[in-house]
Amino acid sequence: MKDIVVICPIQNIYDIALEIIEKHQYHNIDVMLGNMSEGVSIAGQAIAAGAKIIVSRGGTYHMIREAYSIPVTEIKVDAYDIIESYEQIDGGVHEIGVVGYSNIIYGFDIIRRLIPERIHMIELHSEVGVDDIIRANMEKGINNYIGDANIIPIVHQLGCQGQVIQSRAETILTAMQEARRILRANKYEKERAQWLVTMTDFIHDGVIAIDREEHITIFNRRAEDIFGVSKEQALGQKISSLIPGSILPEVLESGRAQHSQLQKINNTNITTNRIPIIVDDETTGAVATFQEVTEVQNLERKIRRKLSEKGFVAKYTFDDILYQSKAMESCIDMARKYAAFDTPIHICGSSGVGKELFCQSIHNASPRANGPFVAINCAAISPSLIESELFGYVEGSFTGAGKKGRAGIFELAHEGTLFLDEICELPIDLQSRLLRVLQEKQVMRIGDSKMIPVDVRIITASNRYLGRMIQEGTFRKDLYFRINILTLRIPELSRRKEDILPLAELFIRRYAKKYHKPELALTPDVKMLLLNHDYQGNVRELEGMMEKSVILSSFDNLDQSWLRAPRPSSQEAPAVREEEAAPLTIAPLKDMESEMIQKVLRQTGGNMQESARILGISRTTLWRKLQNQ
């Protein structure tokens, strides 16, 4: 059966409809002949065979529309149809009865002011008892009638004159075109509805939507699983009858969204978002999306595993830092306070003190702990590549660039923490671009013209004194004050001797387990050697010493020649440092003072207070001398 079926109450409409279909090539329209109850029966058969829209006229249209729920298009009776029917009545008639359903007699009512004869409007509500209605009007002297196809045969049987209203090609064509338009609109709406069903059924979240009367209009497969109710049972129900105590009606009434609300359904904890549906400033419905809490947790673990595979996860926390010294306790307390804020942190300290360990701990103690942690050592990357590493690039931006381009570390660290180690090695020409990214929170890839928003917490570290580099013109002052809002100074291992032996024992256990070797015991002599050693490499140096001892299963390698600087023999001339060469040339006192200050600053990792203590001057005096250098 074709999509559109025209049910014609008279032969005239049937013939014209066939001509229109052939002329306009309406291949999706079929035509059948049937009037009133017969037409209703034919329409039912057509619908059962797959017809989607019915077209008919007069009483037949009215009865089909009442009988079935699919769209029914009317071949309307217009003024021209009425005039043509009237002109076919014999002249000299003064009383005319117009008989039919309201959609038929309505047309006559419009133009009866133009007809001189007396017009009587006779409205029908059913095809039953039409002959009695005609007889009653005959007693009033009305013997001429105009009406629909089911009326005129009855009029003739009662001995009266009657004229069937004909329909012109224009009105039939208009009805067909309207049916085709409705068919297209219904198809479009059906496609949209199917898209919506498909999308909601296959997304990971459960989805429930209600209309303004609180009836359920969407209930996807995930909702079926969680609530234990089928879609067929849920659709059309009031939300309160399916889910007692549901909050969606409150959202519908208030028009205010609710996010990340926890609730328990059938012993299952779920997290729910509820959003009002607003059209033209009016709340017309509400929708809820929800997930099981365990699924959210599993997804988070999966994401963290993926990030871990890429190396974008901070492994360490403050609990992983082994210490007994007051100096390290104070440093950790300060770092914990800093972790709560997004303000940039600059970490000072000599090589090997554990700057990245602190950086990862700060990240894991911060609100960004679930975001990525990206670390880059500015000294370990070639100056020609560091720009592309920082900011990324697009396809073809330079020779050797990947075909698909690449995201820079700022994009990779979005909503997380970026650790720029050895920032002192960043080329001066890139420092200005880094400053702009930090200020504008936007990054542009090399070879691109669009800005990409980034939300990144910056932590930097340096083992060189940036204040000196600013004076030398190798580090931008404005960048320094941008990254050095919060300063964290990690003390050298030699300044916290309480930590040396606990760390040594930790490293012995770690490498004994790794290499399947026996754990070595620290003898009093070894402890003395370790405590008196000057650790130029800090914790990293101590770790290397313990690893070597475990591998050799002995502390014999920890002798005076390794732990302490070699003393020259009586036959050997003292070792001459490069800066002490040319002994006959004595530098000016001011230069010697400046050199001594810088040496002490390097030794203390830039700690102004400690440097002033060693030099025997106040911190203010030290600062003034640095400004005058």
Task: Kindly report the pTM of this predicted structure.
Answer: 0.46
Query: What confidence score (pLDDT) does residue 128 get?
Result: 77
Query: What confidence score (pLDDT) does residue 500 get?
Result: 94
By the 8 A CB rule, do 271 and 261 touch?
yes
β-pair type (452-453, 442-443): antiparallel
User: What would the two tokens of residue 246 be?
Assistant: 């549901």
Task: Could you list the beta-strand ranges (E) of 510-610.
Answer: none
Same domain for 332 and 399: yes
By mean pLDDT, which of 77-81, 164-168, 288-292 is the weakest?
Answer: 77-81
pLDDT reading at 305 higher than 70: no
pLDDT reading at 452 higher than 70: yes
Q: Which residue carries 């009266």 as its tokens?
A: 160
Same domain for 426 and 404: yes
Integer CA distances (angstroms), 424 to 338, 435, 443, 458, 598, in order: 22, 14, 21, 15, 16
Same domain for 411 and 375: yes
Domain contains 190: no
Percent with pLDDT over 70 in the chain:
84
Q: In what order do the strands lie in the sheet with 416-421?
A: 373-377, 416-421, 456-462, 345-348, 486-489
Q: What is the total count of domains within the chain?
A: 6
| Mutual angle of helices 102-111 and 79-87, in 10-degree steps | 80
Query: What confidence score (pLDDT) does residue 578 get?
Result: 31
Q: What is the pLDDT averaged over residues 232-240?
A: 89
Q: What are phi and psi of 286, to 5 degrees?
A: -155, 150
The domain in which residue 621 lies consists of 587-627
Q: What is the DSSP letter of 580?
A: G
Query: What confidence score (pLDDT) does residue 301 get?
Result: 53
Same domain for 281 and 322: no
**pLDDT tens track for 331-377:** 999 999 999 999 999 999 888 899 989 999 999 999 999 888 998 88
Residue 440 belongs to domain with CATH number: 3.40.50.300
Domain contains 423: yes
- Residues 375, 460: Cα–Cα separation, whole Å: 10
Query: What confidence score (pLDDT) does residue 103 get?
Result: 66
Residue 182 is which amino acid?
Answer: I
Query: What confidence score (pLDDT) does residue 573 get?
Result: 36
**pLDDT tens track for 202-212:** 777 889 999 98
Same domain for 510 and 466: no
Domain boundary among 292, 324, 346: 292
Query: What confidence score (pLDDT) does residue 396 get?
Result: 59
Residue 154 belongs to domain with CATH number: 3.40.50.10660
User: What would the two tokens of residue 119 be?
Assistant: 């017009």
Query: What confidence score (pLDDT) does residue 581 get?
Result: 34
Higher pLDDT, 150 or 284: 284
pLDDT reading at 5 higher than 80: yes
User: What would the two tokens of residue 369 be?
Assistant: 């702990």
Residue 518 is which amino acid?
Answer: P
Domain contains 574: no
pLDDT reading at 300 higher than 60: no
- Residues 549, 541: Cα–Cα separation, whole Å: 13
> DSSP letter string over 29-60?
EEEEE--THHHHHHHHHHHHTT--EEEE-HHH
Our CA angle for 369, 371, 377, nearest 5°, is 95
Mean pLDDT across the chain = 82
Domain contains 194: no
Same domain for 419 and 344: yes
Please report, in angstroms and rounded to a whole number, the separation of the first and last CA atoms in the chain.
Answer: 98
Query: What confidence score (pLDDT) does residue 308 get?
Result: 47
- Residues 93, 89: Cα–Cα separation, whole Å: 8
Q: What is the DSSP letter of 519?
A: P
In this structure, how many other beta carbons lie within 10 angstroms of the beta carbon of residue 272?
A: 21
Name every residue whose Cβ is closer than 8 Å to that of residue 86 and which is 6 or more positions away in sequence: 96, 115, 146, 163
Same domain for 99 and 49: no
- Residues 136, 227: Cα–Cα separation, whole Å: 64
**pLDDT tens track for 432-445:** 889 999 998 898 88
Domain contains 198: no
Which of 276, 218, 281 has the alpha carbon at shortest distance from 252? Answer: 276
**pLDDT tens track for 19-61:** 999 999 999 999 999 988 899 999 999 999 999 999 998 888 9
Same domain for 378 and 274: no
Q: What are phi and psi of 256, to 5 degrees?
A: -110, 135
Question: Residue 94: which pLDDT band, with cuts at 50, 70 and 90?
Answer: low
Higher pLDDT, 607 or 52: 52
Question: Residue 594: which pLDDT band, with cuts at 50, 70 and 90?
Answer: confident
Same domain for 87 and 70: no
Question: Residue 620: which pLDDT band, with cuts at 50, 70 and 90?
Answer: low
Helix (H) or strand (E) holding 597, with range, is: helix 589-603
Bridge partners, 489 (sequence order)? 348
Question: Residue 413: which pLDDT band, with cuts at 50, 70 and 90?
Answer: confident
Question: Residue 591: which pLDDT band, with cuts at 50, 70 and 90?
Answer: low
- Residues 301, 312: Cα–Cα separation, whole Å: 14
Higher pLDDT, 89 or 110: 89
Domain contains 193: no
Question: Residue 84: which pLDDT band, with cuts at 50, 70 and 90?
Answer: confident
Label residue 605 left, alpha or beta by phi (over 0 means left) and psi (-120 to 50 means alpha).
Answer: left
Domain boundary among 116, 137, 166: 166
> DSSP letter string over 394-449?
-TTSSTT--TT-EE-HHHHTTTEEEEEETGGGS-HHHHHHHHHHHHH-EE--BT--
By the 8 A CB rule, do 390 and 438 touch?
no
Which of 91, 122, 1 has the alpha carbon at shortest distance from 54? Answer: 1
Question: Residue 561: which pLDDT band, with cuts at 50, 70 and 90?
Answer: very low
Domain contains 189: no
Domain contains 302: no
Domain boundary among 137, 166, 195: 166
Q: Which residue carries 């117009």 as its tokens?
A: 98
Query: What confidence score (pLDDT) does residue 457 get?
Result: 93
β-pair type (118-123, 144-147): unpaired
Query: What confidence score (pLDDT) does residue 503 get?
Result: 95
Query: What confidence score (pLDDT) does residue 302 get?
Result: 57
CA-based torsion, 35, 41, 42, 46: positive or negative: positive
Give the length of the chain. 629
Integer CA distances (angstroms), 394 to 310, 342, 360, 576, in order: 21, 30, 30, 52
Residue 504 belongs to domain with CATH number: 1.10.8.60
Under DSSP, is residue 247 helix (H, G, I), strand (E, B) or coil? coil
Same domain for 66 and 124: no
β-pair type (456-462, 416-421): parallel
Higher pLDDT, 83 or 233: 233
Same domain for 59 and 18: yes
By mean pLDDT, which of 103-112, 119-128, 316-325, 416-425 is the weakest?
Answer: 103-112
Q: In what order do the strands lie in the sheet with 4-8?
A: 29-33, 4-8, 53-56, 72-74
**pLDDT tens track for 466-491:** 888 999 889 999 999 999 999 999 99
Higher pLDDT, 201 or 174: 174
Same domain for 388 and 325: yes
User: What would the two tokens of residue 49 be?
Assistant: 């065979």
